[in-house]
């Protein structure tokens, strides 16, 4: 006999077990150590993107008797890398494919809810913070919409068996804490104005808990890890090295120290002067002492760091201007962008997982509006990478396969780099076909009438 065990814990059991049914349990949940650490990382990443880098902690030094303000070079290369990956995967809108009637409904939702912008913001948040959160709801006009919840304010409630059972949104304005507590069936809103926890509102939750998008994390399967987190140590090293190089060039090469051997000179030589002549007694010598930098070693070190940055950041070397190309074929482009493709494929998996949850919510909310689908109706997505494409080669390949009967016209439209809305294109083709048919019928009628006239004559 097989005994089935159900170890799943719902939110009521979770509150009872961890917080003894405390009605203000969400405050303790927000203040858990693991949550505080995770949110602290999000805040650090935000500050880094805003320009708060480790190099700013570099101390000043004494040079020629005065305080020399050392260089603190800020290179916000992380923004460029993150923007590249976001636009590479979702710079072009997703293509919805599947059953015609269901795709048409979803496209209306996408158009009214600006979901193409939401998709881009989701992948942007994952790259920066590792996680993104989306709440799907019906607005006052019964349109399906979504709002994104900032990772800094997001606290998914996850049980010891990795069950996602509730969600807390917490933020502070003017010293007052606000809480939105999402249960599977309702959303309660609180604040602590007047030092008391006050229930502001409670409304039914018809869609479900906020969708949690996150990439792969080898330590914690419930949360993601940002690409920025992996890049910061390398970028810190680059900024430190380049700042020290700038200081070295100025202090050791451009501001040499005059050294006199023999009788001491009266007066001084201005360090910024040019063309001075110095007369010395027999046997004396004067020279400027400056540092000769090992150019080859420095260049090699910088080149290696940049190579490792490209590897960690999954950046094609061609994007950074490190590769010269000409007459590149489709295959060569794919090879050059292989690292970016690998990263985007991994990101694509986490996005698809979240989109499946979103589409379930779409179906649930559409059913409330009286719109239902058959069991075999489906919707999937096609990602349109922003890789440079040799469009002529691709279209030639599609044309050959179509001529062989291996693919349909709709597949050509889906794969074409110049098509953005597959369903709209199919509708236009159908409309053109109908108009063409009507024109043929009219021509036939004209020919028949002309034939009748010739017979009468």
5 — pLDDT class (breaks 50, 70, 90): very low
User: What are the pLDDT digits (tens) for 316-343?
Assistant: 765 655 555 555 555 566 667 888 888 9
* E strand segments, 159-301: 164-173, 176-182, 186-191, 198-204, 211-214, 257-261, 285-289
Dmax over CA atoms of the chain, in Å, equals: 132
User: What are the pLDDT digits (tens) for 136-190?
Assistant: 999 999 999 999 999 999 999 999 899 999 999 999 999 999 999 999 999 999 9
Mean pLDDT calculated for residue range 84-97 = 91
Residue 297: pLDDT above 90?
no
The whole-model pTM stands at 0.78
Mean pLDDT of the chain: 84
Q: CA-to-CA distance for 78 and 51, rounded, in angstroms?
A: 10
Cα→Cα distances 17→6, 80, 155, 163, 242, Å: 17, 46, 18, 15, 54
Q: CA-to-CA distance for 127 and 138, rounded, in angstroms?
A: 28
Cα-Cα-Cα-Cα dihedral sign, residues 235, 241, 243, 245: negative
Q: CA-to-CA distance for 153 and 67, rounded, in angstroms?
A: 43
Q: CA-to-CA distance for 81 and 317, rounded, in angstroms?
A: 12
């Amino acid at each position: 006999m097989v005994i089935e065990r159900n170890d799943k814990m719902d939110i009521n059991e979770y509150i009872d077990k961890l917080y003894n049914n405390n009605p203000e349990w969400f405050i303790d949940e927000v203040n858990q150590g693991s949550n505080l650490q995770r949110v602290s990382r999000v805040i650090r990443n935000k500050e880094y993107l805003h320009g708060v880098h480790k190099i700013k902690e570099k101390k000043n030094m004494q040079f020629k008797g005065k305080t020399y303000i050392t260089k603190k070079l800020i290179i916000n290369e992380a923004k460029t890398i993150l923007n590249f990956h976001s636009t590479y995967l979702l710079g072009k809108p997703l293509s919805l494919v599947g059953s015609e009637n269901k795709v048409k409904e979803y496209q209306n939702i996408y158009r009214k809810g600006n979901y193409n912008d939401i998709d881009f913001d989701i992948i942007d948040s994952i790259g920066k913070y590792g996680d993104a959160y989306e709440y799907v709801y019906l607005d006052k006009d019964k349109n399906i919409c979504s709002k994104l919840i900032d990772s800094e304010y997001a606290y998914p409630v996850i049980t010891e068996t990795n069950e996602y059972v509730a969600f807390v949104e917490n933020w502070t304005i003017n010293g007052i804490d606000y809480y939105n507590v999402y249960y599977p069936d309702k959303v309660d809103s609180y604040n602590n104005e007047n030092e008391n926890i006050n229930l502001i509102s409670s409304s039914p939750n018809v869609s479900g808990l906020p969708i949690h998008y996150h990439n792969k994390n080898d330590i914690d399967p419930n949360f993601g890890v940002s690409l920025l987190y992996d890049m910061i140590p390398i970028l810190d090293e680059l900024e430190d090295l380049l700042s020290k190089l700038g200081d070295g060039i100025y202090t050791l090469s451009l501001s040499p120290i005059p050294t006199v051997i023999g009788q001491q000179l009266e007066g001084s030589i201005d360090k910024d002067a040019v063309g001075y002549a110095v007369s010395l007694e027999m046997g004396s010598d004067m020279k400027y002492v400056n540092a000769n930098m090992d150019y080859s070693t420095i260049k090699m070190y910088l080149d290696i760091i940049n190579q490792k940055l490209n590897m960690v950041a999954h950046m094609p070397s061609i994007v950074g201007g490190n590769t010269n190309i000409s007459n590149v074929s489709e295959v060569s482009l794919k090879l050059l962008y292989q690292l970016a493709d690998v990263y985007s494929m991994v990101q694509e998996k986490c996005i698809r997982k979240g989109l499946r949850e979103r589409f379930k919510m779409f179906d649930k909310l559409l059913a409330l509006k009286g719109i239902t689908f058959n069991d075999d109706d489906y919707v999937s997505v096609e990602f349109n990478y922003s890789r440079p494409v040799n469009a002529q080669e691709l279209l030639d390949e599609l044309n050959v396969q179509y001529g062989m009967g291996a693919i349909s016209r709709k597949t050509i439209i889906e794969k074409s780099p110049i098509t953005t809305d597959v369903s709209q294109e199919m509708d236009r083709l159908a409309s053109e076909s109908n108009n063409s048919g009507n024109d043929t019928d009219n021509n036939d009628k004209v020919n028949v009438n002309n034939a009748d006239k010739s017979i009468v004559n």
